[in-house]
Amino acid sequence: MNTTKHTTPLAHRRGEGGEAPTWIWYPGDFEIWLGNIFNNRRTERGAMFPPFWKQDSHYVTVEFSKAFTLDQPETITIVCEGQYNFAIDGKLQFPSDTYTIPAGEHKLNLKVWNQATPPALYIDGDTIHTDSTWLATYEDKLWIDENGVAHGSGIYVPAASWHFDSPDTPPSQFRLARREFRPLSCDSIAANATLYDFGRETFGYLKATNLRGTLRIYYGESREEALDRDHCETLDVMRDGDRLGSKAFRYVYIEKEQGATYDDVLMDYEYAPYDPLHSGTFRCSDPLLNRIWQVSAYTLELTTREFFMDGIKRDRWTWSGDAIQSYLMNYYLHFDTECVKRTIRQLRGKDPVTAHVNTIMDYTFYWFNSILDYYQYTADLDFIREMWPRMVSLMDYVLQRTNADGMAEGQPDDWLFIDWVDFPMHKRGTLCFEQILLMKALETMAACARLLTPPAPSAPTVGCGFAATAPLDYAALAASLRAKIRATFWSQEHRAYLHALEDGLLNPQITKFPNMFAILYGLSDETEQRDIMRHVMLNPAIDPITTPYMRFYELEALCMAGLQNQVLQEIRSYWGGMLDEGATSFWEKYVPTETGRQHLAMYGRPYGKSLCHAWGASPLYLIGKYFLGVQPTKPGYKEFEVRPVLGDLEWMEGSVPTPRGIIHVSMNRHEVRVSSTADEGWLILGDRRVRVRPGEDGVSSIACTAGR
C-alpha cells in the first residue's frame, strides 16, 4: 500500500516531529488505478485506443492495522473510500463515523472494500491518525511496513504526495491544475467553418461558450492536420452541454452544423504545477541555444502530467524507454521526484510478471536502471527498499528467459525496439545492444542489494544460463555477462562492437547503438572508447540516428569524450532545424533531409508523427550535466561537482535544482562563479579542483578565473 511522504510542511502537523493525518492505501495501487485511467485516454478519430500491454488492477479489499497505547480515551473520525468494517482488539464495532478508543494498549483493524477505486483510509484524532506508520495487507496474510519489509502477516501505507491530507481531498478526486486560454487568431475558412490558432502546441479541454446545436471539431498539431478532415488523428462532435476530453493541438478547425451557434472558443490548459523558485534555468550568449532550451523545457512540461508520458497527442502512454529520459531531464528542470516514483510504480505493475515492461525487452532493462539513477539524484533509500521485491521478481522473469550463455534473446511474445530506424537492422538472435542493457540492469541490482541492509533478495528460479544461488549474486552475473559481451561482440578488425549473433554466426553490421552504450555504461576501456569514437561515432559511413530518443545517448557519449563543441553544433543543427520548420515543441523524430508535409508523417500516416514528444527535450539534460556541468558525486547531492564547459559560447549561466537547494553556475571567458544552497562540492576546471564550501549564511560559493 502506498503512502509517500509529504513534500511540503503541513500546517496541521501534530506535535514535534509527528506526522499529520493523511489518506493511505496499499502501496502502488493508486498509481496502478490512476495509470489505467491515464493510459486509456488516447483516441484516434474518436475511437478509444488502449495500450498494447497487460493492465493490472488495484486490490479491491485491503485491511489496515496499527497498535496504539493511549493514556486516556480518544475519539477518532474515520473516512473511507469504499465500504469498511472496524475492529478494536479483534472485536467488530457497530458502524459509525466516530469511535471512542478507551485508554490502554489496543490494536485497530479496518477492512475497506472498493471495486471502483483503490480502498483508501483517513483517520483523525488527537494522537491516532493515518500516516506512514500503518500496516496493510490485501489478505495475502503478509503485513508490510513503509519500506516494503514483511512483518509476518500484511504491508505499509505511504502518505500521499499530492497533499491528500484532508478528509475532503480523497485520492480518487485528484485532478491536475487548469488555466483558461484564448486562441491567438482565427481564420474564417467557410461560412460555417473557422480555424483557430492557439499560437503553439498545447494540451487541454476545448470549450465553446453558449453553444446551441452541434459542432464538428478537428484538432491538429499542424495547420495541415486540422484542415484535413479525412485524416486528422483526433476529432470530436460537440453538442449543447457536452464536456470534451483532453486533447493535444495547436490548431482547431470547427464546423457548425446547420443552425448551430456559439459565442467564443476557449480552452482549459491542463498542467502539473511546479515551483519556479526550485527549477532549472539557462541563458547564454547564443539566442538560438536559449530558444532551444526554452522549447525543451516547454516540451517536458507538456509531457509531465500525472505520470511522464511520451507524447501529448500520440501515444499519451507511459513508456519505460521514454520515461527514463524524462526522469533525467526532470532532474535538471523541476526535480519532480514524486512524478518519477509514480511512473516507476505504474510501469512495473503487480506480480506475477507475465511480460516485459510495455512488452519491450529493452524497456524492462531501462526500468531497472532508472531506479539507480533516482537514488543517485535523491538518496531516497526508502523507495529502493519499497521497489526491491518487485525488482527481484522482474529480474527473475528476465533470467528465466536467457539462453545457455546467460544472454537475453527476444522470445516470440517480446518486442525488441532499440529505435525507429530507416536502415536495415535485424532484431533477431542475440543482440549486442540488449546484452549491454542487461549487464547494466544486473549491475543496478547488485548496487541496490548493497544499499539495503540486509538485502535478503529471494532466490529466484533462474534460466538455463545461470545456476541458482541464495541470495542471487547479481554482481557475479553482471561480471560474467560483461566478459561474454566483450568476447562475443568486440571486433579487433573493425574496432567496434558488432550487431548480433544469429544462428551461431556474427552479423557484421555496425551501428551506433551498442557502441555508444558500451561507452555510457563503462563496458569499453579508454583505448576501445577512442577506437569507437573514431570508427563508429564520428564515422560518416555509419548510418545516422534520426530520432531525438537515441540522439540523447549519442550526444551524451560525445560529451563524455569531451566533444562539447561538436555537441553544441549538433544541438543547433538538429533542434534548431525543428525550430526552423516551425516547431513550438520538439518532435518524436526529425530527418533534416525531409521537407514540407514529410515532417508530419510517420507510421504510414500523413500526421502520425508526434510533434510534442518527451524524448525531444534532451538538451535540458545535456546542457545541465555537460555544459553547466552539475551532477551529484554522492547520492542526493550530499556532495556535488561542477565541471562547466563553455564550448564556443562567450558566456552562460544557469541553475540546477537538487533535493538540498539550488546550484547556480555562471561562466565567461575569464571567470567561473558557483553558488549553492546545497552542501559542499567541487568546482573542476581542467586539472584544478576547488572546494565549494558553505559560508556563514549557509550558501556555498566560489569564484575562479576560467581562462581560455
Task: List b or e across 37-54, with b for residues whose CB sees 16 or more CB atoms inside 10 angstroms.
Answer: ebbeebbeeeeebebebe
DSSP 8-state class, residue 482: H
Kindly report the pTM of this predicted structure: 0.92
Paired strand residues for 217: 236, 254
Q: How confident is the model at residue 152 (pLDDT cuts 50, 70, 90)?
A: very low
Question: Distance between CA 7 and CA 5 in Å, rounded?
Answer: 6
Distance CA(128)–CA(75), nearest Å, equals 9
Which tens digits make up the pLDDT trace of 116-136? 999 999 999 999 999 989 999
Q: Got the DSSP string for 210-276?
A: T-BSEEEEEEESSHHHHH-TTT-SEEEEEETT--PPPEEEEEEEEEEPTT-B-SEEEEEEEE----G
Measured over the CA atoms of residue 600, residue 601, residue 603 and residue 608, the dihedral's sign is: positive
What letter does residue 296 receive in the DSSP assignment? H
Q: Rg of the chain over CA atoms, in angstroms?
A: 27
The DSSP secondary structure of 533-569, one letter per residue, reads IIIIIT-TTSPPP-SHHHHHHHHHHHHHTT-HHHHHH
> What's the pLDDT band for 695 if we cut at 50, 70, 90?
low
What is the Cα–Cα distance from 604 to 231, expressed in whole angstroms? 12
User: What local confidence, expressed as pLDDT, does residue 154 receive?
Assistant: 39
Q: How do residues 341-355 score in pLDDT, each as one tens digit? A: 999 999 999 999 999
Least confident of 229-238, 582-591, 686-695: 686-695
CB within 8 A of 123, min separation 6: which ones?
21, 76, 77, 78, 79, 129, 130
Average pLDDT value for the chain: 90
CA distances from 391 to 268, 441, 450, 474, 554 (A): 39, 10, 14, 12, 28
Bridge pairing between strands 43-44 and 135-137: unpaired
Q: Is residue 231 over pLDDT 90?
A: yes
Banded pLDDT at 515 (limits 50, 70, 90): very high
Q: Give yes or no for residue 150 having a pLDDT over 90.
A: no
Residue 372: in which H helix or E strand, if any?
A: helix 361-378
pLDDT single digits (tens) 381-435? 999 999 999 999 999 999 999 999 999 999 888 999 999 987 778 888 999 999 9
Do residues 299 and 614 touch, judged by C-beta distance below 8 A? yes
Q: Is 70 exposed, middle or buried (0-12, 13-18, 19+ CB in 10 A)?
A: middle
pLDDT for the residue numbered 143: 67
β 214-220/247-256 pair status? antiparallel
pLDDT tens for 261-318 read: 999 999 999 999 999 999 999 999 999 999 999 999 999 999 999 999 999 999 999 9
Cα 131 to Cα 423: distance, rounded to the nearest angstrom: 54
In which band, very low, low, confident or very high, does the pLDDT at 697 lie, cut at 50, 70 and 90? low
CB atoms within 10 A of CB 100: 11
Look at residue 148 in the predicted model and tell me its pLDDT.
Answer: 52
Q: In this structure, are strands 120-124 and 496-497 parallel, antiparallel, or unpaired?
A: unpaired
Share of the chain above pLDDT 70, in %: 91
